[in-house]
Structure 1
Amino acid sequence: MTATPDPDRKPRKRAKRHTETADFDAFARRILKAYARRVAAGDVEALASMVTLTAEVDAMVRLAVAGLRAEPYSYSWDEIARRLGTSRQAAQQRYGDKFERHGLDPRLLQAGLTVSVATLVRVFADHYPGSPMPSRCPGCGYPYPDNVSECPTNATVRPLLKQRRGEDRDAVALLSPDQFADLLKPKSRTTRATVRQSATYAPDPNRPALPLFDLHGEDPTR
C-alpha cells in the first residue's frame, strides 16, 4: 500500500555535505593516477595533453598563493614557504617578488578557481602586449625584463586559457587572430633584447635600410 503524501509537510532538506580540503587532494590524486593509467594503456595521443597539466597546476598554485597573501588572510612569505617546504626566498622568487610588484589582475583573484573562460579571454586580451612589443604591459604596467614577453597575469592566464579554450568557443572567438595565434604559440614573440640587438647591428651599406620596427628582419623591398 502506497502512503499518501501529506501536502502540509515540508520536504526535508538534505544535509549539506562538508568536504575537507584533504578530500579534494585525495580525489585529485586519484584522477591523475587514473588519467596516467588510461594514457599508459596505449592512448599515446593524450600524452601531450597530460603534460600541459603541469603548467595548469603551477598556475593554480600561483592563484592560491596570491589569495593567501591578499586580505583578509595576509599570510606572510615565511608561513607560505613553511607549507611549501622551501625557503622564504625561494617561495617569494617563484610566486612573488616581481610578480608581487604588479600583482595578478583583480578579476582572477575575485573569481579564484571558479574563473570562467570568458573572464580568462578578457584578461588575456587586456594584458596582451601586441606588436611591436612595448616596454610595459598595457594592462597592468608591468615592466618587461629582458627575454620576458608577458606580465605575471598573462603568464598565469595563458596555460589555463589554452587548456580550457574548448569549453567556450564563442568567448575565445573574441580574441583577435594575432592574440589567438600567440595563445597557441607562447614562445613566438620577439623579445626586447632581440629587438635591441637587431637595432644595433651594422647593416650592409649596399642593402636598403630596414625600418626601425621591423621585428622579423625582413627586407621591405622584397
Structure 2
Amino acid sequence: MSKNTVKPALTPKPRKRAKRHTETTQFDAFARRILRAYARRVADGDIENLRALVSLSTELDALARAAVQGLHGKPYKYSWQEIADRLGITKQGAQQRFGEPSTRDALDRRLLESGMGVTVATLAQVYADHYPGNPPASRCPGCGYAYPDRVAECPTLATVRPLLYRRRHEDKTALAVLSGDQHADLHAPVTARLRAAVRQSASVLPSPDPRSTLFDLNGKDPAQ
C-alpha cells in the first residue's frame, strides 16, 4: 500500500492569500504613529535614547532628498517646478535644497543671476525661503544647509539679511511676503540670532560664500 494515501484529485489545493496592497497614505500614517510612540517612550524617562530620536531629523532630511531625486530623475523626470508646487516652495528653493550636494552651500541662484541689479522683491522672497523658522530647524528649509553649532543662518540668509534690512524702505510692498516672525527678525537680527542659539552650543557665524562680494555688506547700497 502506498504511503501517500491522499488523492490529489479529491483534495482541494489551498487558496493563495491575496496580496495586500498598501497605499502610500497608509505607510505615512503608520510611520507617524511609530514616531509618536518613539517620542512617548523617550519622554517617559528614556533619556539615553534622546540623542537617537533627535538625530532622526537629519536622516529624514536625507531620505526626503533621495525621494525628490528619484522623482526628478529617470524614469519619472518630474520638473523642479512640479516638485516645488507640491512642496509649496519656489522652484529655485526646491532645486537648491534637493539638488546636487555641491549647490547646497552656495548662494541662492536668484542672487547670482540678478547680481548688482537684485530687487527688493527678490531679496524678500529669498529671505523668506531661507528663513530657519522659530524655533529653527537643523537645516535651512531653502537650501538644505546644515547649520553648525550656534548658527541658524545659511550663507544665503547671512548675505541677504543685511541687504534687505538696508533697502527695506525702497519697496515696502515687497515685504508683504514675509511672515510676522520673519518681519520681526529682520528688524531685530540680534534678537533672532540669540533665540536661535538656544538650540545650539558655542561656535561662530559662518563666513558668507566668496561670491557674496557681488553685494556690498558694509552698508553701501549697490544701486548707488
TM-score bracket relative to the smaller structure: 0.3 to 0.5
The structure whose Rg is larger is 2
Bigger RCO of structures 1 and 2 (CA < 8 A, at least 6 apart): 2
- Scaled by the length of structure 1, the TM-score of the pair is 0.41
- Scaled by the length of structure 2, the TM-score of the pair is 0.41
